[in-house]
Structure 1
C-alpha cells in the first residue's frame, strides 16, 4: 500500500444527510495501488494515481446536464421532495434534472428544471442571484469577487452538489477503514471514465459502497453513486448525462429579474451583537462518538432550530417527529428516522443523533453522551 496525502483546499457541501455522514468518516487518506483496468483508449492508472488526478483536475469551463436521484427512504414531508420539483428543497427525494454552466469561479449558473417551473442560482462577478419561478421571487447578494466559491445564501446552502463536490467529500472517507478498488472503465455521458469503488470495512455501516466515475480526459468526477449495504441500485446518485468543456457564452450568466417579480436584497454578513462581535450559535458543541464509517454525531437540536421545536405545524420539526415511530430506552425517549443510508433519533429532551449506522448504535451513542 502507498500512503497518500491529498490537498484539502476544496470543501464539499452535501445536499442530503447521508453524504455528510460519509464525509465525517474520513481521517488520514490511504489509497491502495490496485491498477484500473485499461479498456478502450484509456491508459492504466492505479487507484492512488486516480485520486491525485481528481484533486489536481483543473477545467477552465464546462457545461452539461446533471441528474440527481435520491431514494433515501425518508418519510414524506408536505411541500418537500418529489419528482420534478423546481425547488432546491425538493432534492431530498425523487429524481431531478439540472443544467450547469461554468466559465470560472465568478461565472457560474445552476438551473433546477421542474415540470412546471425552474429555480436558478447565478453568479456574475460580485452579483449573486437566486430565482424561483414558483414564487416569482429573485434574491440578490453582493459577494467578493476574489476567492469566492460561487452562489451563497439560504437557497445556495441547500443547493445540489456537483459530482466534483460529491467526490471530494467521499474521498475524505478513504482511511484504513475503507477498501479502495477499481472497476473496468465505465462510460458516463458518452465519455470513457475510470471508476473508483470505496467500500467500508466495518460491516456495521449502512453504506455498502461509494462509486466515483472519473472522466478519462479531464479527470473531473462525472458521477457519484452511494449504495446501501446489500443494495443493487444506488440510494443516492448525481451525475452528468451530457458533458462539454466548451466555454458557455457570456449571455448565459446574465440575469435580470422578470417584470412583476419580487426582488429581495440578501446579506452575506453574519449577525453582530451590540458589541460588534459576531453572534455565535447557542447550544453545546456536537459530540462525536465512534470513528470511520460508523461515526455518530450527537447534537442539541434546539440550537439548530432556533428553539422552534415545540411548534406542531405539519411542516415544522415537531410536526415531522409526530409522524415518526416512537422509541425509548435507557438513553431516554424520542422518535426514529430510519433511512436507507442513515438513521437519526430525535429525543424528547432536545437531542439528535445521526450516522450511517443502524438505530442500535445511535441509542448507544445517546447513552454514552
Structure 2
C-alpha cells in the first residue's frame, strides 16, 4: 500500500475527513437546536456546521477518564463466551480484552499524543489492564496474571500495523463518533438535539436517525465539545426505547499534552511475554474471519464454519441501516444436521436447543437469535443472516435474497 494512503488512514483516526461534510450534506437537517432541555445556553448551529466543526478539529492530545456501558441483551450463555472467541495470546491479548467490552459497564483511563502514542488503562476491579501504543510498538499488560502481549510493526512500513493491535485502541468516544459519521449517508437523517454537559464541558448533540424502517436502532446521539469539536460521548439508542444499548463518554477530560513517560512501557520482571505473531500461529487462526473464529470457539460449532479450513462466503444485502450480511459457511452442514449428529457435544446440543424462535419462509427453515441490537437467522441449510434489523426485516431479507 502506498505511503500516502497510510498517512491518510493515520490522519483519519483523529479527525473526521472533511469529505464527510459533503457526503452527508444532502441528508443533514439544516435546522438549529431551539430547546436546551436544561443544558447550557449555546449559540444555535446547524447539523452541517457541527459536522464541519468535528472535521476541522485538530485536537490530538488529551487525557482523562471514560466509561463504556453496553447492554445488548445477550443471553447468559452468549455473555459467557465473550473474551474467548478470537485469536488469544493469553489474558494479556488486546483482542480478548476488547471483546469483553461487549457487555456490562467498564471504566478506563485514556491518553493520546498524536497518531503514534495512545494508552488505555482498564480499571475494572482492583487489577489493571493497560494497552499502550508507542511508535512501532503495541503492548498489552495484565497486572493480575503478570502477562504481556507485544506486537511490532514491520520495519520500513508506515503505520503497517493499522489493522492489527493498534486498531484495538479505538474504543474511545472520539473513535466511535468518527466511525459513525464516516458511515453516514443518504439513509440517515442528521439533526441537532438538545445541548448537554459532558465531563464538565459544554456540548452540542448531533442526532442520527435511520430513514429506513426495520432497523433496531432508534438513534445515535453524539455530544460534541462546543469549543474544540471533539466528540465527548456517543449513545446508541434502541428503536424500542429503554436505556442506551451503548453509552460511551468521558467523565473527565483534559486537552493538555500528556507527559512523555505516559506511553513508556517495559514488561515487569518475571512477566510472561507473548508476541502477536506467535499467538496467531499458536491458535491456527490465520485466514479466518472473526465471525468464524467465534463459532469455532464453542464446542461442536466448528462444523458450521467448515472447521479450521472453512472458506465461508459473505454477501452484503440491502444498504444503510437495513444492511444484512449473509454468510454461506460452505460447511455442507446446518442446524438440523448438527442437532441430529450423535457426535455433537452435549454442550453444543444444549446451545442449539436454546437458540431463539423457529421461523420459516422462502429461504427454508431456521432459528432467529436476538439481542437488543443484532438479530441473526441461522438456517437449517447452513446459512447465517445477521444485521441490526428486526426479526421481521431479517426474514424478509432472507426471503428476497438471491
- TM-score w.r.t. the length of structure 1 is 0.78
- Say if 1:88 and 1:160, in contact at 8 Å, map to a contact too: no
- Say if 2:366 and 2:380, in contact at 8 Å, map to a contact too: yes
Shift, 1:249, TM fit: 1.0
Distance 1:97 1:215, change over 3 A: same
2:125 maps to 1:94: no
Distance 1:339 1:280, change over 3 A: closer
Q: Aligned partners of 1:334 and 1:203: how far apart in 2?
A: 23
Which position in structure 2 is the counterpart of 1:360? 392
2:60 maps to 1:49: no
Which position in structure 2 is the counterpart of 1:5? none
Shift, 1:346, TM fit: 2.6
Shift, 1:184, TM fit: 2.9
Which position in structure 1 is the counterpart of 2:16? none
Find the residue that maps to 1:78 and give its secondary structure. helix
Q: Aligned partners of 1:95 and 1:320: how far apart in 2?
A: 26
Distance 1:53 1:202, change over 3 A: same
Which position in structure 1 is the counterpart of 2:146? 136
Deviations 1:76-102 (A, max 9, x none): 232538xxxx93322111110011111
Deviations 1:194-213 (A, max 9, x none): 10111112232111111010
Aligned positions of 1:238-249 closer than 5 A: 238-249=248-259
Aligned positions of 1:40-119 closer than 5 A: 40=40, 42-76=42-76, 77-78=79-80, 80=82, 87-119=97-129
**Relative to total residues, which structure has the larger helix share, 1 or 2?**
2
- Say if 2:377 and 2:384, in contact at 8 Å, map to a contact too: yes
Q: Which runs of 5+ in 1 are unaligned?
A: 1-7, 13-26, 272-277, 304-308
Distance 1:157 1:352, change over 3 A: farther
**Alignment match of 1:148 (pick from 159, 162, 165):** 159
Shift, 1:284, TM fit: 5.2
Which position in structure 2 is the counterpart of 1:125? 135
Deviations 1:264-285 (A, max 9, x none): 12239999xxxxxx96876354
* Equivalent residue pairs, number: 330
Q: Which runs of 5+ in 2 are unaligned?
A: 1-7, 14-21, 84-95, 290-309, 332-337
**Alignment match of 1:262 (pick from 256, 261, 272):** 272
Shift, 1:67, TM fit: 0.4
Aligned positions of 1:18-33 closer than 5 A: 28-29=23-24, 30-33=27-30
Deviations 1:242-288 (A, max 9, x none): 111111111211112122221112239999xxxxxx96876354222
- Say if 2:187 and 2:210, in contact at 8 Å, map to a contact too: yes
Which position in structure 2 is the counterpart of 1:22? none
Q: Aligned partners of 2:380 and 2:169: how far apart in 1?
A: 30
- Say if 1:190 and 1:242, in contact at 8 Å, map to a contact too: yes
Greater Cα offset, 42-51 or 330-339: 330-339
Distance 1:263 1:363, change over 3 A: same
Which position in structure 1 is the counterpart of 2:375? 343
2:179 maps to 1:169: yes
- Say if 2:69 and 2:246, in contact at 8 Å, map to a contact too: yes
Find the residue that maps to 1:252 and give its secondary structure. helix
Find the residue that maps to 1:202 and give its secondary structure. coil
- Say if 1:270 and 1:279, in contact at 8 Å, map to a contact too: no
Find the residue that maps to 1:184 and give its secondary structure. coil
Which position in structure 2 is the counterpart of 1:298? 326
Larger radius of gyration: 2
Q: Aligned partners of 2:222 and 2:162: how far apart in 1?
A: 25
